[in-house]
Structure 1
Amino acid sequence: MPQLIDILGMLGAGVLLYAYAMLSMRKMSGDSLAYQLLNLGGAIALMINSAAHLAWPSALLNLVWCGIGILAVWRLVVARPWKRQV
């Protein structure tokens, strides 16, 4: 199980770095659903990894990051559906 938690953490870090790279290279928009979902998924994975390793400052940071991600996804999906591209 510890190895699975470590793999999850590495995947989460990779997903966050990928999303940031795509945003920085203007291949993805910061207000796109894809970017927000990548950010949320990476934060969830890192939150689980941090909590499993008792790294509470990192776990708390990623918990807040998840909250921001959930709010952003909610706003994109529920509050402003007319701005989504099909």
Structure 2
Amino acid sequence: MPAALDRKSVYPLDLIVEIVGWMGASLILLAYCLLSIGKMQATSPAYQWLNIGGAVGFIVNSGWNGAMPSVALNIIWFGIGITALWKLKRNGVSSI
């Protein structure tokens, strides 16, 4: 059983990292849901910020747990979001 799920070995930092990971997952799912139901546009700063926040949560959690492919994927995901925000700002779209 992974250390984070073993009740005997859950330390405060382990719990914080798990919470950060679940928050990251929630942000990405919220962004996808809002996009899918038409409540948000992929070109909106809010959508990009949700994805950036989610990527950070996954980077922290995946890094802590040694899941390097997930870390790499989410660093790229983060970079895509930052690049999109930078392009939106260049085009005169406020960042929230």
1:9 maps onto 2:9 in alignment: no
Instruction: State the distance in 2 between where 1:72 and 1:51 align.
Output: 24
Unaligned segments of structure 1, at least 5 residues:
none
Q: Is the 8 A contact 2:46 2:95 kept in 1?
A: no
Instruction: State the distance in 1 between where 2:61 and 2:25 align.
Output: 10
Identity across the alignment (%): 42
Quickly say closer, same or farther: Cα 1:53–1:26, change in 2 above 3 A: same
Unaligned segments of structure 2, at least 5 residues:
1-12
Which residue of the partner structure matches residue 31 of structure 1?
A: 43
Q: Secondary structure at the match of 2:66?
A: coil
| Higher fraction of helix | 1
Q: How does 1:1-86 map to 2 (within 5 A)?
A: 1-77=13-89, 79-81=90-92, 83-84=93-94
Q: Is the 8 A contact 2:25 2:58 kept in 1?
A: yes
Counterpart AA for 1:80: N
Which structure has the bigger radius of gyration?
2
1:76: how far off?
A: 1.2
TM-score between both structures, scaled by the size of structure 2: 0.83
1:28: how far off?
A: 0.4
